[in-house]
Amino acid sequence: MLPVVALVGRPNVGKSTLFNRLTRTRDALVADFPGLTRDRKYGQAQLGENEFIVIDTGGIDGTEEGVETKMAEQSLAAIEEADVVLFLVDGRAGLTVADEAIANHLRKIEKPAFLVVNK
């Protein structure tokens, strides 16, 4: 069974772009506005000789209502499903309260998580 890597973070930090680069596809839609990714998207990736499954997720910002609540739940489900989590942040925007909340959640789980600074 291939290892699973989840991409998580606030909306519009580059999760879908990284997903497309890792999978060498354009399967994940990308836009300049937040909230486009609403459900988990799975793809197969390879770095060197290492193959793995990568999961693109919707953003989590802590202010979710309605449909956005379901998007956040999908992101949390991806974290549970993953063997490794890549936590993406926007280096230009700096850390936000939402970033800190995600980081606190990742500290509580017992699996490897790596910070990825983008943009």
* Fold of the domain spanning 4-70+78-94: Rossmann fold (3.40.50)
The one-letter amino acid code at 97 reads V
- Condensed to tens digits (0 to 9), the pLDDT of residues 42-62 reads 999 999 999 999 999 988 876
Domain extents for the chain?
Answer: 4-70+78-94
Range 62-71 average pLDDT: 50
Provide the β-strand partners of residue 4: 53
pTM of the model: 0.84
C-alpha 39, offset from chain centre:
11
